Amino acid sequence: MSQRLHVAVVGSGIAGLIAALRLSKQHDVTLVTKNELAESNTRWAQGGIAAVMFEDDNVENHIIDTLNAGAGLCDPAAVRVLCEEGPERIQDLIRFGVQFDKRNGELAKGLEAAHSYPRVLHAGGDSTGLSIEMALVHAVCSNKAITVLEHTFVADILTRNDQCIGLHLIDRPQNGKQERSRMFTSDAVILASGGAGQLYLHTTNPSVATGDGTAAAFRAGAEVADVEFYQFHPTALAHADTFLISEAVRGEGAVLLDAHGRRFMQAVHPGAELAPRDIVARGIAMQMAAQNGAPVMLDATRLGGSSQPEVEEFLRTRFPSIDAAVRRRGMDWSREPIPVTPAAHYWMGGVRTDLYGRTSVPRLFAVGETACTGVHGANRLASNSLLESLVYAWRCAGLFLGEHIAPSASLDAPAEFDANEVRALAPPYAAERTIDRRGIQSLMWNAAGIERNAEDLTTALAELKSTRVEVRSIADRETANLHLLARLVTTAALARTESRGGHFRNDFPNPNPAWARSLVYADRSTPVRIPANPLFATR
């Protein structure tokens, strides 16, 4: 593609940074982030990034593992793209300066839940996300073709004739300044704004994860899919100041204990502590219910050696960030097990895209956790999230560079959905009662969390429909986005009368073959199809 374009990229995690860097080879890029450039979900990713990088591993096994974890809802074509293109994208990260951990001069292997092979790569022990983030941030800051707008909130996506033409931006106040609203036009917008962990009372996500991109895309008419599937990480530190305890800790051999010091996951699943995440999270939740809500214990006191000094050295070296965080909270996990609880971690659903990041709105693209490519199905395989962001951001940017140009497959029509039930965010509001963020989070945790049922979901949805968010600031806009997404999640969770992956209904505890399909919702009566060619329709 010879025409020089101006592309806006929203979000500064791995997906946004990779897209911006690739696009800058040929186009002008504006990277918009609502906080500082280096603040994103990516920087908090501990576990690692999965890819076939070893001679005794193979792509087909990675595909099988991903499909198995996805509980029958993965798009096989999307999974194949992920696993086949992943190894070369890892080499790209290395070229960008990411230094993955090595043992004896070779890339170090890590095993995580539901993988049949130890294919998970780490950097800085348990600081993989931070290592990737800082390497890419450095590359972006050194690139003159990329303009970075920090502390800039995306309020909405601008459309004309059902096409994306830019963004409604609000500058976050700094040093006492007032919020400033402005319209920003561009030839295309790529959403890479991350997930929505702040929907829930307990989450491993940072405060920026309020689902702004997905909410804005929905309001602009984009289709969303699989929104009922939220993955709860089994092991967050049960502490007022919570912290993620990586899956890799269990991969190294740590075990889960009940209140009496006994292992319990062996009776839940043959994989025990290394079963798929949804199973481990539910196993912990059930055990906590059996012990009056008390957290279970994660025992890492036997890792790395038989003596306490050996264990202490291993934990400090292998998991430096976790070790420091645990000790700051007054615990010594080399001597005693630590309390853990499940927490909202990753959203499998999002803005529906094809294999190149194209949404159902022309000129609007989505990558990373904002997008729903079909890769993860109903339950993401551990350490596939960073890989998906990397692979699909690279592919999406390739469209703008004249690579991978291919017609998009026709998307199925969305499920019937009353747009009026979820659309109103901006004044005037119909509802008289207001709800705050804590209220939304409590509703979601209790009704649409690890376990769900029709009674709780119906009650929560009625409460969400009868309330509104008072919008006076950017923080209120974030809460309003969560309010919209909460209505979407509860609506889809109520509609799916089965249990599958990250969606567990205790009134429908088994999977139903009739539900081996995605629920797709859109805020319109007639779906907009992704155009096959050209890439950019005329304005």
Catalytic residues: 277
Smallest CA-to-CA distance from 9 within 37, 31, 26 is with 31
Kindly state the helix (H) or strand (E) to which residue 137 belongs, with its residue range.
helix 128-141
Strands (DSSP E) found in 291-414: 296-299, 338-347, 350-352, 364-366, 371-372
Report yes or no: 215 and 477 within 8 Å, Cβ to Cβ.
no
3-state secondary structure 245-298: CCHHHHHCCCEEECCCCCECHHHCCCCHHHCCHHHHHHHHHHHHHHCCCCCEEE
- What number of H helices and E strands is found in the chain? 13, 22
Question: Which residues, other chains included, contact 307 with Cβ-Cβ below 8 Å and sequence gap of 6+?
Answer: none
Reading phi first (left if > 0) and then psi (alpha if -120 to 50, else beta), residue 261 is in left
Task: Using the CB atoms, write b or e for 184-196: b if 16+ within 10 Å.
Answer: bebbbbbbbbbbb
Smallest CA-to-CA distance from 15 within 262, 213, 226 is with 213
Pairing assessment for the beta strands 163-171 and 152-160 based on DSSP bridges: antiparallel
Identity of residue 432: E
Identity of residue 151: H
Return the DSSP state at 369: G
